Amino acid sequence: MNSEEIGAYIVQGEELLIVQGLNILLALVVLFIGLRIIKTFSRYFRTLMDRRNIDPSLIPFPHSILITLLKIVLFVSVIQMVGIETTGFVALRGAAGLAVGLALCGTLQNFAGGVVLLLIKPFKVRDFIEAQGHSGSVNAIQIFYTILKTPDNKTSILPNDALSSGSLINYAKEKRRRVDREFNVSSVADNDHVKSVLNRLFEEEPRVITEPAPAIVLATLADSSINFQVRIWSLASNYCGIFFDFHEKVKKAFDAVIVSIPFPQMDVDIQKEN
């Protein structure tokens, strides 16, 4: 190989390096601009959904899928610009498809579970639910998992497959809820007097719904007390407030009219033998 041939190879190498360098630089520019466009589109998509009053529980799922697909398209376009043949990915995808499918079996089940949740809508964002031993307000319904925020501000992450196929309780599904409480009074207390005190509390409480009417029933004749069961209706949003507030209100009302709250006691007769 003479010097002229070596020089020709060097020139070709320099030209190839320049061309490839320009391709790589152009691919990086396209990648940077593409990611910025996808990010802007992501914000626009969420804003558009909010303006159309779309259920918040429906937004994260299609948003994640759409953004993922756009990033895949951008990635394939960039590697084609660099000069990498994408036809090889078809064979690679076929060879790895089975292994990936088996490895992601649980993940795909969660994906299918997420689709089921969005179709049947057993709950939505901000609903308070109980499922799989966890309870809390639904913070987000994602592709594979549903995120709950517990009352003490902890985050619970539940797989969508378990939520879609298991049992759950949605405490916010209905507009009204019944508050069941039980209050114990002394066995010598006057039943009608106790009922009148409780009825007065119901009438003074604006959160109590009058239809259905509150119910007060004598539930149990215990050893040292009479147990009254109270059933009142309220809006679901007022449930916790009434549930806890009535303890203090009933205690103050009973103290004001001298209705004693019993405590366990036992009468012992001592007999002296002659």
- 173 close to 149: Cβ distance less than 8 angstroms: no
* pLDDT for the residue 158: 92
Q: What is the layout of strands, in order, in the sheet containing 145-149? A: 155-159, 145-149, 134-141, 128-131, 168-170
* pLDDT for the residue 8: 54
* pLDDT for the residue 265: 63
What domains sit in the chain, N to C, each tagged with a CATH number? 3-84 (1.10.287), 114-170 (2.30.30.60), 176-256 (3.30.70.100)
* pLDDT for the residue 45: 80
* pLDDT for the residue 18: 61
* pLDDT for the residue 155: 92
pTM summary value? 0.57
Distance (Å, rounded) from C-alpha 128 to C-alpha 142? 17
* pLDDT for the residue 154: 92
* pLDDT for the residue 100: 47
* pLDDT for the residue 93: 55
Dig out the tokens for 167 from the structure: 């049992």
Identity of the residue numbered 241: G
* pLDDT for the residue 54: 67
* pLDDT for the residue 84: 66
Query: CB under 8 Å to 204, separation ≥6 — which residues?
Result: none
Distance (Å, rounded) from C-alpha 73 to C-alpha 34? 10
Residues of the chain with pLDDT under 70: 1-21, 53-58, 61, 83-107, 258-269, 273-274
User: What are the Cα distances from residue 75, in Å, to 30, 31, 44, 78, 79?
Assistant: 10, 8, 22, 5, 6
User: What are the Cα distances from residue 136, in Å, to 2, 140, 142, 148?
Assistant: 80, 12, 16, 5
